[in-house]
Homo-oligomer: A and B are copies of this chain.
Amino acid sequence: MDDALSEFGRRDWETETDLESVRFAMVGLGWWTREEAIPATEQSDRCETTVVVSGHHDKAEDVAEIADDTATAITYDEFHDGAATDEYDAVYVATPNAKHLEFAESAAEFGKAVLCEKPMEATPERARRMVETCEDADVTLMVAYRMQTEPAVRRARELVREGAIGDPMVVHGSMSQDLLEMIPNPDQWRLNPDLSGPGTSVMDLGIYPLNTARFVLDADPTAVSSFARSTGDAFSDVPDEVATFQVEFDDGTLAACSASQNASQSSHLKVVGTEGEVSVEPAFFDRQNRKFALEVDGNRMSLDYKQVDQMLEEFDYFAHQLRTDGDIYPDGRHGLADIEAMAAIYESADEGSVMEL
């Protein structure tokens, strides 16, 4: 039992610690980049923010001042023109979804590795172009699934793989937040299909239970179906103020998921197998105290574990794999599968029928 505790947060992916630092160009300087991503690189021994890239030069300059490393501030246009390419090794892309591709394309052109926020793009076509562009240029592409380097999720995955809960049978996963309380402006990119993709709640939140279930089960979706509705004025351009979706996985497991940008902050992930269950709740918000539980034979272990900085784990994983030439688990093709599944989820909600993948 004490090993379970002392080893809970271990970086099982880490084989080397003495590695050359990776210098990042941070593209898209919204609150997530400023308050989560840049601070993570500052905490990291193997990552640093050396370039910051924004649509507006002034904003880039302001953010450059926040960053410790006397970063170079450039605009999107300057980035695409190849400015400061000597000053970074990799690009972190955190723009609106539908703008990820263009930055990945420029990065690939410059031979820079890409860490792209999820969802990786707005449509399967664009996501596929990103994959192919990076493959053709032979640059590393990782999709920024911070749950995949979250200890609770990695431990859940190990337990499932080892058979601790028997054969997985069913997953429940949810994520909701009050988007308009967080960003009190209906004119924002997450509510604009030109920038977000086919919708908001599934694209931005539903991807967490979807991808985390895939990762924990080590399985991929074979069919989806969905209900979605929007009634609030702010959600008139997107179909999914709230959505539920079901997923059938290639190992036979079924998942019941939900997502909402207009509900109280809430999240959970629960995997029930023939012999037990493993759960993380709250699950998906990085500034909440996530809790882990395992139940087998009616005996339940609940863990309040030392929370990690999820963005630090994610950036360190990316840098580690890059510097050790290791495989990236959430690579472009992995991310593309989610984009395809989510496109099918939206299509299912629209058409009222199951979509096979």
Contacts and interface: CB of A to CB of B under 8 A. Distances in A.
Nearest to A255: B244
B263 A254 contact: no
B174 A272 contact: yes
A170 B256 contact: no
A105 interface: no
Contacts of A57: none
A246 interface: yes
A30 interface: no
A82 interface: no
B298 A265 contact: yes
Interface stretch (A109-117, A118-126, A182-190, A221-229): A221-229
A176 B165 contact: no
Interface string A249-273: 0001011111010111110101011
Contacts of A314: none
Nearest to A267: B272
A349 to B, nearest CB: 9
Interface string A196-237: 000000000000000000000000000101110101000000
A256 B174 contact: yes
Interface string A165-198: 1100110101010100000000000000000000
Contacts of A172: 172, 174, 256, 258, 268
Copies in the complex: 2
A208 to B, nearest CB: 14
Contact of A169 (B226, B256, B263, B272): B263
Interface residues of A, number: 46
A170 B273 contact: no
Contact of A274 (B223, B263, B276, B295): B263
Contacts of A225: 225, 227, 246, 352, 354
Contact of A256 (B257, B274, B276): B257
Given A227-B254, A266-B270, A277-B264, A176 B170 contact: yes
Interface in A310-357: 352-354
Interface string A261-298: 01111101010111111000000000000000001101
Contacts of A264: 165-166, 272-277, 295-296
Given A174-B172, A246-B225, A246-B246, A266 B295 contact: yes
A26 interface: no
Contacts of A226: 246
A48 interface: no
A223 to B, nearest CB: 7
Nearest to A209: B256
B170 A242 contact: yes
Given A170-B242, A227-B248, A244-B254, 11 more contacts: A166-B264, A169-B260, A170-B174, A172-B256, A174-B256, A174-B270, A229-B248, A245-B246, A264-B276, A265-B298, A353-B354
19 contacts: A165-B264, A169-B260, A169-B262, A170-B242, A170-B258, A170-B260, A223-B227, A225-B225, A225-B246, A225-B352, A231-B252, A242-B254, A244-B255, A246-B246, A254-B258, A260-B272, A263-B273, A266-B272, A266-B277
